[in-house]
Structure 1
């Protein structure tokens, strides 16, 4: 298949939309009068959305900003687990600022990523992710989850969620696969529309966007699930017919359900970024399909248009964007848009249309007539929705979405009147069970004290077994003094979101290198093993499938993961009904879809899922992944250390995996913190203070002799804001000997723009300095006071020179 590069679309081949007509003549006249009243600066303010970490209530009043959002890592006081009352108080402050501005008083909207429950708020019910709901295949369940989420969002004083994601994921190497319902376009369409109905209510009904409902957002328009090799924000590989029949199908359903906002994708089609794609945004979505709501951008996505920056981008507005999501670039963007309006680069007609759409959304959502957030029906202050009801609904979703892949000799259901050994950190780790987009952008590191109503899988097993009179032993490493009757082995992916979850290979990478050894030992001891795999997508887990008597794909169940225990120990009342929303890979490098074409090779097909009464044996699976050492040599990428790599600051302390945040060495000589370079949290910023110190990346001993013969080397990509390259020396550890490779500056090879620099550290350089490449253990950067390095990427690759 070749890439399409259309200058325009053949709209005669696109069917019309069944979107309901919600226009009110009286409201349209009010909107016209308001638009005529607004100054150019006030109009520009209405089409800009700022993040609460970068904007104050005073800014909202001064610039007449139309909306704010809380990004995945933004919270009142920068405390992720801040109480609900703090969120509501801040919502009041922003609303009061918008209503005290000079001139027209237009209430502000607050948008949030409530994508599996109100997941930014500590204490909220965290529902299973979309991949689970795709396995459940129950539109009514999804609609009820939408309604529950709307209540929780209203309780925090917010008006709007950036959900549902209705991407049709075609390559599960994509890091956002778990945000998609399925690889099946129709299933995505059915479930996406159901969530819209749950969040907003039914169009043309009295409940529509009423006091118990919020604004929904269909995202990401268009084709984000079809990028080449599953690369996030990449080029969508699809003909116009495939774009229409596969990727747009769910948007037709969302429009019919009355969705009021649509978010633009970071991806491209035909070589053109979606944020600047006028044929799709204006000609198709607005003119042909009749969408009269708001098209909103994604996090500084407008800045990825060729020739644009986050603070200077007239093209997005002229292409059809109505709201710029400009989290930290909003002030400079406001100034540049005003200049471009005055110069004629932006037409007043297009600006007025965008402002009309924003005002129309606010009228439909009822915020023009609503009091401040804390005074609205459903606000917190003692009237929080009943958590018990939401927890029960989440438990239902957990049970309906679990997929039974293997059940040799009818191992399941288990008898709870037994000694049950539970193995694996994931069994009792809320962060792993909830996945990304939970209290923070990338998820993880959740405190159970923040979710008092939550039940981990371990606690669910304890509940069921204790009630039956059995006994549970929990040992992360599988140890036991008294032989158990059965073991439940819980393992899975570490949390991630967006591009950090992109994979080159579909082979499961264990966070604990002993994991498979523990599983195999239980198997060799003759203990029946039920494995529960926690993941955002199917992965190549052949070793684990072979060593398990029963195997359950639990995906990302959320705060009611314990409900899965009721299925595992089912007394005949419950049964597994979940079906795979994506085909399960048979090859580590071959997804179910390749360049838009369905592959015929998979271990379990789309829709596979056993019931307890069905034969559950499967043939022994091939355990040769076909991956070489080089496939596991990404040291640092997308803001995190690669599989089996860890980072150490200074001489003291232990090496640990880096997943973000900020650390300082024990001797205060070196500070490392997460930073943004073109994308959110995709780099690490290292600053040396005082005496010489090392930033070191560690791995268990690696044999790179084959890679040496093939001419490989380490590629380092750094930001140009790094300084003193000559003062940063490169070291390598093999055995117990450190080799001095030389100044980093001598290894600089080229720069692709004014912001990035590439260094090539050939394995030959390491060997020449005396490094034993049969047992490389660490690569270190040594610097002293004033040295500064912002690193985006470090991996073993073929040289680019």
Structure 2
């Protein structure tokens, strides 16, 4: 390993010319094999070292810095570094890791690249006010290009914490108060950093790993004080705060940062429910979790324990990397020895870090981000600066513009007055750690340069930032000093008034310094500081037009300013090009289009104030200021100063009434809401058209309105455009009291306008998806059959066309087996596709093309003496082991597949030449199965498994009765490798011992069921999807149809008796079979030992051929439960009402029988096809089954 990295390093001699910008794509299996081999070489200490993230350089956000970093790197005790700036320095340190440590594992290099690297964009709160996802993604893309050019491979962004409290300084780093908008921005940022195509993310050397933060709820701290306690219900958490984090995970974010705060009394850094159960278990996050700065050590102050205790707690909870605390490096070895941490837990965390490095391509080229020529080429370029200027101008929000003060004329004299008017270091805003502070023009400098020869730009400071010098010092840290002026307040004011006297217009540059917002910058008063307010009053008294150009990182209280100042332009902190962008807007080259993403209160006493609040039982009447015994204040009305979504333009926009395509939304449909927007002013401009909904009646109280869509459009003066929004059931969902994600039937107000107080309204009714009374049996069956068909059609693995073993709608695949396909389940699937072709769900030509793809895959896929394995990798056709020794032929699963293929054969054998050719290819596959080999010599029994590596080690001779009858029939029917009839009689029927008359639940059964009195219901299904049981009998069973019907009725009777008193069991809710379960996959059977209270829809529905009336009752009941149980591919696999467990997951082997048996019940199609095959007829006759001619 070490030698490989040394050879790579030879490329770096000189200038590193020739490094590829895109790495080769590799499979998950390649990654697993590589990391398995590497971890076998690693010591425990080196594994712990991968979890260590010390800090270097001069930039820290806490009280600690790391020590002896170089020595630890050489010992393999460091996994990454952060805040080391400069590609030359990073190259030097990476060489230290690669060439001096024992295994040469490369480091991650992280940095807080929050809103730009050296080209700085507006602070994130300002960016969000663009409502322009393309612009936001572009800002992150440029940040990634520049950071990667300087050696950085990982950024601690985006911050997606929802906050409704502007007292909290870090609102400047987020996207405001709304989760819907916040989720869209989270995804745009992740795509910008990592790449927009999730399949190819991080392959380029100008893409860097994102880190969504702060997980979770960091923005909801009590009293707006940083790092403070968070306490809220789960319901509020998921409905109002969690979506942006989940959206980032859906976008493929590579890492997640745990937050400082506690949740439910447990610090997030040590919260297993949060970091493991939710993040990984429910959301399917596959990256790694890093702490915030000293997050592990800070749990000591929370009162959780000493450093060893909190370090073990963090690792066991799901933290993979320790930022700065060095608790893992210092204590994990001891915790492992004492049994407080399992080696498996350490291995998992180490693997996640190594996987991140692998995905970044650092094992192929540890110097991927160390091209020393890139900084000159890729950082702070004209293209980047132009983009930053455009996006900054788009972020500004025009709050007031009386009498058309703006835009300013390009003539006369404009005075820039205020403590923020001529400061370069203040322009980028907080968290711009790589900024070139002296290279960005101040507002005065930028306007003077832009307006040279046109407008005389003058300047006076007018006041200091704050009257209190100590306060100003706290507000101008990290090199962001405003150079406090030692003159008296009056002297500064007199100078300003003298400059103002000579001006035509005054631009008052007031507000906050950049470090008055951001981390550890909470405020209790949000108005303009005292001396600035005095200055503004004096400027207004001059009688000159005043434009308040407001620098801020949060909503401020501007009640007085709104009343007295003619024009207010909120410019946030606009970044490196802010001065030019402000000039573009002030002088009319750009029409402002920003819209607020946080509500501006009238005073601090209204906080928290947000648009999507709930009503009380005593709401204030609309238009009222105060009513006694209503929810209001004595001293101020309830309304905000500026609402969410608000922002003016130099032009005006008029909205038509809303037109709905239909006033009713059904189960699977959508409704289109349309408005026409007209630019009625004289300037071209952009408008953000916003869609809000209100759920008028719910099972829990619902907000007065919620953002559910937006569209930014550009209109020339006088132009009109039609804007449409598609409203689906998914858009109306929320988490109910039981934490189910539901869309409840009822009426909704649909509101569209230019801000959250939109008045254009239409009413939409969502119908009850559970109302099946009007559905005929045929309509209900067709709905279920068609939806289940989609699992095998739309959900098919794209390369093979076969059925994926499982589809999890939650995106969580613990075994990372999304591309694994099933042989047996695909047999059921191709029968389902046949029924879909026959019913016209797809054309015959489309169906043939899919079958040809499937057969082509099967012809090349791994086989073992003609038998197929249980699983393959769909992209390669290579066997995916089902178990430790189960990596070869699986004769039972092969039988299920062949059963389906023979039905396909019969469907096409008399068809077109192309269809007949396919049938002949299927015949070859059928003839190639060596059933005799699986007798393990000449034994009169069939064995389930054989492995080329382990031989017959699985040792599973198959005896009846279970699901394997079809295997024995096919083995006897084979025209090339047919087994003697004695194999069936001696092996399957055990020389008659299969006969065992007995009663269960008072119902007669005649067969011996393996290991139980009455087995799981799939034993009544799998063999009879093609094999027609209707008149099937032999010497051991006088009627297989009656036997399977009785097996079904036993299952139903047990569930109705319900001896364990499970919730929901009854005449219309029964069915125990092998399926997913609360505690993992399990075979549920009608006895108290094997009944876990889990109902699987496939159990009763696939028995519809035996018990049509009873099965249809279950189908109707389950369908009536709506979205809880019925999804895009039909009914979800299993559920438990008792445990409130409704996983949105599917298994192919459970979906297929539903569709096939419904078809057999309706038409007998699959039975007729399979039974018509001459070889099957011969096989039945050979085994002694009477043949109906």
Superposed displacement of residue 271, structure 1 = 1.2
Equivalent in 495, 502, 524 of residue 541 of structure 2: 524
Task: Tell me what 2:457 maps to.
Answer: 472
Task: Tell me what 2:262 maps to.
Answer: 268
Does the aligned pair in 2 maintain the 1:160–1:216 contact within 8 Å? yes
Counterpart Cα distance in 2 of 1:22 and 1:609: 48
Does the aligned pair in 2 maintain the 1:129–1:556 contact within 8 Å? yes
Counterpart Cα distance in 2 of 1:437 and 1:281: 26
Superposed displacement of residue 549, structure 1 = 1.3
Does the aligned pair in 2 maintain the 1:175–1:501 contact within 8 Å? yes
Superposed displacement of residue 594, structure 1 = 7.8
Superposed displacement of residue 499, structure 1 = 4.7
Written as runs of structure 1 = structure 2, the 5 A alignment for 1:237-276 is: 237-276=231-270
Counterpart Cα distance in 2 of 1:310 and 1:192: 33
Superposed displacement of residue 495, structure 1 = 2.6
Superposed displacement of residue 372, structure 1 = 2.7
Counterpart Cα distance in 1 of 2:27 and 2:225: 39
Superposed displacement of residue 90, structure 1 = 1.7
Counterpart Cα distance in 2 of 1:448 and 1:250: 32
Structure 1 residues 310 and 68: CA distance shift in structure 2, 3 A: farther
Superposed displacement of residue 360, structure 1 = 0.6
Please state which structure has a larger fraction of its residues in strand. Answer: 1
Superposed displacement of residue 568, structure 1 = 3.8
Superposed displacement of residue 563, structure 1 = 2.8
1:215 correspondence with 2:209: yes
Task: Tell me what 1:788 maps to.
Answer: none
Superposed displacement of residue 168, structure 1 = 0.8
Does the aligned pair in 1 maintain the 2:258–2:289 contact within 8 Å? yes
Task: Tell me which structure has the larger Cα radius of gyration.
Answer: 2
SS in 2 for 1:409: helix
Superposed displacement of residue 291, structure 1 = 1.0
Does the aligned pair in 1 maintain the 2:390–2:581 contact within 8 Å? no
Structure 1 residues 114 and 448: CA distance shift in structure 2, 3 A: closer
Structure 1 residues 555 and 311: CA distance shift in structure 2, 3 A: farther
Counterpart Cα distance in 2 of 1:230 and 1:598: 20
Superposed displacement of residue 567, structure 1 = 3.9
Structure 1 residues 355 and 399: CA distance shift in structure 2, 3 A: same
Superposed displacement of residue 589, structure 1 = 2.3
1:316 correspondence with 2:333: no
1:97 correspondence with 2:115: no
Equivalent in 643, 649, 663 of residue 605 of structure 1: 643
Does the aligned pair in 1 maintain the 2:443–2:579 contact within 8 Å? yes
Task: Tell me what 1:341 maps to.
Answer: 336
1:487 correspondence with 2:506: yes
Equivalent in 595, 598, 602 of residue 586 of structure 1: 602
Counterpart Cα distance in 2 of 1:457 and 1:205: 43
Structure 1 residues 558 and 24: CA distance shift in structure 2, 3 A: same
Task: Tell me what 2:521 maps to.
Answer: 501
Does the aligned pair in 2 maintain the 1:232–1:498 contact within 8 Å? no
Task: Tell me what 1:307 maps to.
Answer: 304
Equivalent in 170, 177, 180 of residue 171 of structure 2: 177
Superposed displacement of residue 325, structure 1 = 0.7
Does the aligned pair in 2 maintain the 1:416–1:464 contact within 8 Å? no
Superposed displacement of residue 548, structure 1 = 1.6
Superposed displacement of residue 62, structure 1 = 1.6
For residues 272-297 of structure 1, the C-alpha deviation after alignment (integer angstroms, 9 at most, x for no partner) is: 11001101111111122111100110
Written as runs of structure 1 = structure 2, the 5 A alignment for 1:100-499 is: 100-118=99-117, 124-206=118-200, 208-305=202-299, 306-309=303-306, 313-326=311-324, 329-330=325-326, 333-372=328-367, 375-376=370-371, 379-380=374-375, 382-385=376-379, 387-439=381-433, 448-449=437-438, 451=439, 454-467=440-453, 469-477=454-462, 478-480=496-498, 483-496=502-515, 498-499=518-519
Does the aligned pair in 1 maintain the 2:198–2:251 contact within 8 Å? no
SS in 1 for 2:45: helix
Task: Tell me what 1:39 maps to.
Answer: 43
Superposed displacement of residue 373, structure 1 = 5.6
Superposed displacement of residue 58, structure 1 = 2.9
Counterpart Cα distance in 2 of 1:379 and 1:598: 52
Runs of at least 5 residues in structure 1 that lack an aligned partner in the other structure: 1-20, 77-86, 119-123, 441-445, 616-801
Counterpart Cα distance in 1 of 2:128 and 2:236: 21
Superposed displacement of residue 307, structure 1 = 2.7
Counterpart Cα distance in 1 of 2:552 and 2:26: 40
Does the aligned pair in 2 maintain the 1:154–1:378 contact within 8 Å? no
For residues 10-57 of structure 1, the C-alpha deviation after alignment (integer angstroms, 9 at most, x for no partner) is: xxxxxxxxxxx9971111121122122211000000011001143433
Counterpart Cα distance in 2 of 1:125 and 1:429: 17
Please state which structure has a larger fraction of its residues in helix. Answer: 2
Superposed displacement of residue 494, structure 1 = 2.2
Superposed displacement of residue 267, structure 1 = 1.1
Task: Tell me what 2:553 maps to.
Answer: 536
Counterpart Cα distance in 2 of 1:203 and 1:314: 37
RMSD: 2.4
Superposed displacement of residue 310, structure 1 = 5.4
Structure 1 residues 612 and 310: CA distance shift in structure 2, 3 A: farther
Written as runs of structure 1 = structure 2, the 5 A alignment for 1:648-687 is: none
Task: Tell me what 2:574 maps to.
Answer: 557
Superposed displacement of residue 104, structure 1 = 1.9
Structure 1 residues 491 and 310: CA distance shift in structure 2, 3 A: farther
Please identify, of 223-232 and 578-587, the stretch whose mean Cα deviation from structure 2 is larger. 223-232
Counterpart Cα distance in 2 of 1:374 and 1:296: 21
Structure 1 length as normaliser, TM-score? 0.67
For residues 488-507 of structure 1, the C-alpha deviation after alignment (integer angstroms, 9 at most, x for no partner) is: 000111232555211233x3
State how many pairs are aligned: 559
Structure 1 residues 23 and 584: CA distance shift in structure 2, 3 A: farther
Structure 2 length as normaliser, TM-score? 0.45
For residues 168-209 of structure 1, the C-alpha deviation after alignment (integer angstroms, 9 at most, x for no partner) is: 112111110101111011111111110110100034444644
SS in 2 for 1:59: helix
Superposed displacement of residue 420, structure 1 = 0.7
For residues 548-604 of structure 1, the C-alpha deviation after alignment (integer angstroms, 9 at most, x for no partner) is: 210011111111111333444444x52110011101111222224389946953111
Counterpart Cα distance in 2 of 1:93 and 1:524: 60
Structure 1 residues 499 and 385: CA distance shift in structure 2, 3 A: closer
Structure 1 residues 193 and 26: CA distance shift in structure 2, 3 A: same
Counterpart Cα distance in 1 of 2:200 and 2:256: 23
Superposed displacement of residue 424, structure 1 = 0.9
Superposed displacement of residue 422, structure 1 = 0.8
Counterpart Cα distance in 1 of 2:394 and 2:428: 16
Counterpart Cα distance in 2 of 1:373 and 1:210: 9
Counterpart Cα distance in 1 of 2:642 and 2:152: 42
Written as runs of structure 1 = structure 2, the 5 A alignment for 1:35-74 is: 35-53=39-57, 54-55=66-67, 56-70=69-83
